[in-house]
Amino acid sequence: MVSNPRVPPVDSRDQLTADQRRHYDAIAESRRSVRGPFPVLLHSPPAAGLVADLGAYVRFESVLDDDVRELAILVTARERDCAYEWAAHEPIARDAGVSDGAIDAVADRVDPDDLPDDQALVVRFARATLVPGEMPEALFRSALDRFGERGVTDLSVTVGYYGLLAGVLNAFAVRPDESVEWV
d(CA 1, CA 35): 9
Does some domain include residue 181? no
Q: Are residues 89 and 163 located together in one domain of the fold? A: yes
pLDDT over 90 percentage in the chain: 73
Does some domain include residue 154? yes
Task: State which residues form the domain around 93.
Answer: 66-171
The model's pLDDT over 75-97, given as tens digits with 9 standing for 90+, comes to 999 999 999 999 999 999 999 99
- Dihedral (Cα; 100, 183, 30, 154), 10-degree rounding: -60
Does some domain include residue 155? yes
Give the pLDDT band (50/70/90) at residue 157: very high
Q: Are residues 85 and 41 located together in one domain of the fold? A: no
How many structural domains does the chain have? 2
Q: Are residues 47 and 71 located together in one domain of the fold? A: no
Does some domain include residue 56? yes
Predicted model pTM:
0.92
Q: Are residues 51 and 138 located together in one domain of the fold? A: no
Q: Which carries the bigger pLDDT value, residue 121 or residue 28? A: 121
Q: Hey, CA dihedral for 14, 16, 22, 28, is it positive or negative?
A: negative
Query: Cβ neighbours of residue 100 under 8 Å, at least 6 residues apart?
Result: 94
Does some domain include residue 3? no
Q: Are residues 46 and 108 located together in one domain of the fold? A: no
The model's pLDDT over 22-65, given as tens digits with 9 standing for 90+, comes to 888 888 888 888 888 999 999 998 999 999 999 999 999 999 99
d(CA 58, CA 38): 16
Q: Are residues 111 and 152 located together in one domain of the fold? A: yes
Give the N- to C-terminal CA distance of the chain in Å, as an integer: 16
Q: Which carries the bigger pLDDT value, residue 163 or residue 35? A: 163
Instruction: Name the E strands within the chain.
Output: none
d(CA 115, CA 127): 15
Q: Are residues 74 and 97 located together in one domain of the fold? A: yes
